[in-house]
Chain A
Amino acid sequence: MRRMPIVVRELKKTYQVALQRRGALGALRSLVNRKTRLVRAVDGISFEIAPGELVGYLGPNGAGKSTTLKILTGLLVPTSGEVQVGEFVPWRQRRSYVAHIGAVFGQRTSLWWDLPVIESLELLQHIYDVAPGKFRHNLDEFRKLLDLDAFVDTPVRSLSLGQRMRADLCAALLHEPPVLFLDEPTIGLDVVAKERIRQFIRHINQQRGVSVVLTTHDLSDVQKLCQRVMIIDKGRLLFDGQLSKLQERFGGRRQVVVDFGERYEAVQVEGAEVTQHEGQRATFEFEQGTISASELIGRISARYRIQDLQVREPDIEATIRRIYEQRLLG
Chain B
Amino acid sequence: MRTFFELVKLSARRQFTYRAAAFAGLATNVFFGLLRAAVMVALYGERGEAAGISLQAAITYTGISQAVIAFLDLFGWWQVIQSVYSGQISGDLLKPMDYFRFWMAQDLGRALVNLAGRGVLIMLFYAAVFDIVLPGQPGQWLGLLAALLLAWMVSFAWRFLVNLTAFWVPNAVGIGRLGYSLSWLMSGFLMPLRFYPEWFQKLCNLTPFPHMINTIVEVYLGLLSGPEMMAALLHQALWAAALTSACYLVLRAGVRRLVILGG
Residues on A facing B (Cβ under 8 Å): 13, 15-16, 41, 67, 70, 73-77, 91, 94-96, 98-99, 103, 105, 107-110, 112, 114-115, 119, 122-124, 126-129
Contact = CB atoms under 8 A, between A and B. Distances in A.
Contacts of B10: 112, 115, 119, 123
The A interface, classified by DSSP as helix, strand, loop or mixed, is mixed
Given A95-B96, A126-B2, A127-B96, A108 B262 contact: no
24 contacts: A15-B261, A16-B261, A67-B262, A73-B94, A74-B259, A75-B90, A75-B93, A75-B259, A91-B259, A94-B93, A95-B97, A98-B94, A99-B96, A108-B88, A112-B14, A115-B10, A123-B3, A123-B7, A126-B2, A126-B3, A127-B3, A127-B95, A128-B95, A129-B3
A110 B95 contact: yes
A31 B17 CA distance: 46
B260 interface: yes
Given A70-B262, A96-B96, A128-B96, 5 more contacts: A98-B96, A107-B87, A108-B87, A114-B17, A123-B3
A115 B95 CA distance: 17
Contact of B91 (A109, A126, A128): A109
A126 B9 CA distance: 13
Interface residues of B, number: 24
A127 B2 CA distance: 9
B6 interface: yes
A119 B9 CA distance: 11
Contacts of A41: 262
Interface of B: 2-3, 6-7, 10, 14, 17, 86-88, 90-98, 259-263
A98 B95 contact: yes
Nearest to B18: A114
A103 B263 CA distance: 17
Given A123-B6, A126-B2, A110 B260 contact: no
B94 A75 contact: yes
Contacts of B96: 95-96, 98-99, 127-128
Given A77-B260, A91-B259, A98-B96, A108 B90 contact: yes
B14 A103 contact: no
B177 to A, nearest CB: 23
Contacts of B262: 13, 15, 41, 67, 70, 76
Contacts of B17: 114
A18 to B, nearest CB: 11
A118 to B, nearest CB: 12
A127 B88 CA distance: 17
